[in-house]
Amino acid sequence: MNETRLLRVAQEDADVIAVQAVEALARGELVILPTDTVYGLAACAHHQAAVRRLFEAKRRPYKRALPILLPGIEHLADVVAYVSPTALALAQAFWPGPLTLVLPRSQQVADWVTSGKDTVGVRVPDDPTALRILARSPFLVAVTSANLSDEPTPITGEACAADLAAPVALVIEDGPRPNRASTVVAVEGDTLRVLRHGPLSEKDLRAALR
């Protein structure tokens, strides 16, 4: 792999950043990008070798599924087989934002992304750079925190790249991130279950369903 390229959001044209990120992902390369919660490590979800490299770069156990980031709620049908009224209400209330919903996956999401599970985590991040990349991408993008598995996530893109176990093709640097991972909620019909606590409390979630 060629030397890691660095693009700074403050210094580059936003569309140039999005084009270069999507081109790198399409080639099966890994990209570090900013989100509203942490820096994310991204790979084309349809590229099995790229997804494997993502697992290896994080030293992430293969049994841990990867989430998919979307550019908007209207793209849920691309990854989810069924959206219950409860799931839709939560998405409408908190997207874009720090909420990951775990829902029944569609056939468009590969086993190597979900670790063979019949569900997939999905989120719409509240970050203009991430959203621009996702909107331009013609394929699904798997994104998880850009850190070694079970270790703290560095707050800058450059630090994340230095921390990983394998090189990435492109780092998109946009300054420090809040470094608080999203709230993860599994929705089964009208039942919700908090799998990981985060910025949104269970009280927040249930208030949106009244």
- What is the pLDDT tens value at each position of the chain, 210 positions in all? 568 999 999 999 999 999 999 999 999 999 999 999 999 999 999 999 999 999 999 999 999 999 999 999 999 999 999 999 999 999 999 999 999 999 999 999 999 999 999 999 999 999 999 999 999 999 999 999 999 999 999 999 999 999 999 999 999 999 999 999 999 999 998 899 999 999 999 999 999 998
- Beta partners for residue 8, in sequence order: 173
Which 3 state secondary structure label does DSSP give 208? coil
Q: What are phi and psi of 129, to 5 degrees?
A: -70, -45
Please check whether residue 45 is in contact with residue 100, taking contact to mean a CB–CB distance below 8 angstroms. Answer: no
Which 3 state secondary structure label does DSSP give 192? strand
Residue 7, both tokens: 């693009």
Using alpha carbons, list the distances in angstroms from residue 144 to 15, 16, 105. 23, 23, 17
Please check whether residue 184 is in contact with residue 203, taking contact to mean a CB–CB distance below 8 angstroms. Answer: no
Q: Is the pTM for the entire model greater than 0.85?
A: yes
Question: What top-level class would CATH report for the domain 5-207?
Answer: alpha beta
pLDDT at residue 2, as a whole number: 65
Q: pLDDT > 70: what percent of the chain?
A: 99
Q: For all residues of the chain together, what is the average pLDDT?
A: 96
Please check whether residue 37 is in contact with residue 144, taking contact to mean a CB–CB distance below 8 angstroms. Answer: no
> Which amino acid is located at 110 in the chain?
A
Task: Name the region of 108 (left: φ>0; alpha: ψ -120 to 50; beta: rest).
Answer: alpha
Please check whether residue 76 is in contact with residue 83, taking contact to mean a CB–CB distance below 8 angstroms. Answer: yes
